[in-house]
Amino acid sequence: MDTVSSPWFIPFVYVIISVHAYSLGEYLVCGGTALGWWNEQRIWLYKRTSSYLLAMVDTFLKLLGHSNSGFVISAKVSDEDVMRRYEEEKMEFGDVYTLMFKILSSLAMLNLFCLFRTVLKVVFIENVGETMALQIVLCGVLVLINWPLYDAAFVRKDKGKMASSVTLKSILIALSLCSLVDLI
């Protein structure tokens, strides 16, 4: 499927929209909210990306004999601010450094930079909009899904924000990967 004008584009769009509409409807019928469903989609994406990357890193560390990875036990006691953010269905990143947050924020920043770069290509280079439309939509959806992460990294000032060190390192990793693509 090369272009959006291809007739094969319609079945793909239909399947994607119908699957997500059914999932949202099912979530709402079971008593959830639209924001809760959106958070579930986000968590599904985060579990998929972080679990595979963490498993790969752990495997390499074991091969090298340096495996100290494990789960960090977090405090189960919550204060009023944490409860308020939970009731508002805001994601809690906490002001801590973990490998999972570094991976998630690096991927989110990479998606954001790729979206900007692709949009700039479409604006300044003619005849790429037709072939890049699906990539732009996919990257745009990933940026939209990661919006609470950008909010936690750049906007929020509460205790649920992303640690500044994680934000800085993820930006550097994403920029390095973008620069590496330019070299290839």
Per-residue pLDDT of 132-176, as tens digits, reads 777 888 889 889 989 988 988 899 888 878 888 889 999 999 999
Question: Per the structure block, which two tokens stand in for 4?
Answer: 């959006």
Q: How confident is the model at residue 66 (pLDDT cuts 50, 70, 90)?
A: confident
Helix, strand, coil % over all residues of the chain, rounded to 5: 70, 0, 30
The answer to pTM > 0.95 is: no
Q: How confident is the model at residue 72 (pLDDT cuts 50, 70, 90)?
A: low
Q: How confident is the model at residue 4 (pLDDT cuts 50, 70, 90)?
A: low
Q: What is the mean pLDDT of the chain?
A: 82
Q: CB of 160 within 8 A of CB of 93?
A: yes
